[in-house]
Amino acid sequence: MGDLIVVLILLAIGYGFGSYAERQHYKSIREREKATLHVPIMTFGAKQSLPPAKETALFVGSVVVASDYFKTFALALRNLVGGRVLSYESLLDRGRREALLRMKEEAIAWGATELANVRINTSSLSQGGQGMISIEVIAYGTGIR
């Protein structure tokens, strides 16, 4: 019974703080996406000729996002029956968009007019696949000005 109460408290903490952080993060992501919308990012550019450019440079944006107890609990339960892990969909979505934004913001500061050959990689920072999971997302691309 005591264990159950501890789990419930951890779930409440995880959900409370986790969903608050997620709301704040999405708010910030949407604002910054709007502000950086004028610079196109695209995936082509590898083994293709780049658009006419005076200068190019590599830009890397990387972010580490931690899961929370609620998300991990939901994942553990989901592992029993299989299916979509809803709570991790938003976590990975935030990670990808944040990494892209960091790359883009740096490129814009440099004066990029567009970003070509953009790639995204994800890795999980977990302890042997056990316990709480953090994800790292890295986005990189070629800035052109």
**Would you say the C-alpha torsion 30, 32, 35, 41 has a positive or negative sign?**
negative
15 binds other proteins (CB under 8 A): yes
**Separation of alpha carbons 91 and 106, rounded Å:** 23
114 lines the binding site for other proteins (CB under 8 A): yes
Please pick, from the candidates 21, 51, 53, 56, the single residue that binds other proteins as defined by CB under 8 A.
51
The first and second tokens of residue 98, run together, are 């944040």
Quick note: the x/- pattern for other proteins over 69-108, rule CB under 8 A, is: -xx-xx--xx-xx--x-xx-xx-xx--x------------
Q: Please, are residues 120 and 100 in contact by the beta-carbon 8 Å criterion?
A: yes
Q: Please report whether residue 25 would count as binding other proteins according to CB under 8 A.
A: no
Number of shown-chain residues binding other proteins (CB under 8 A): 27
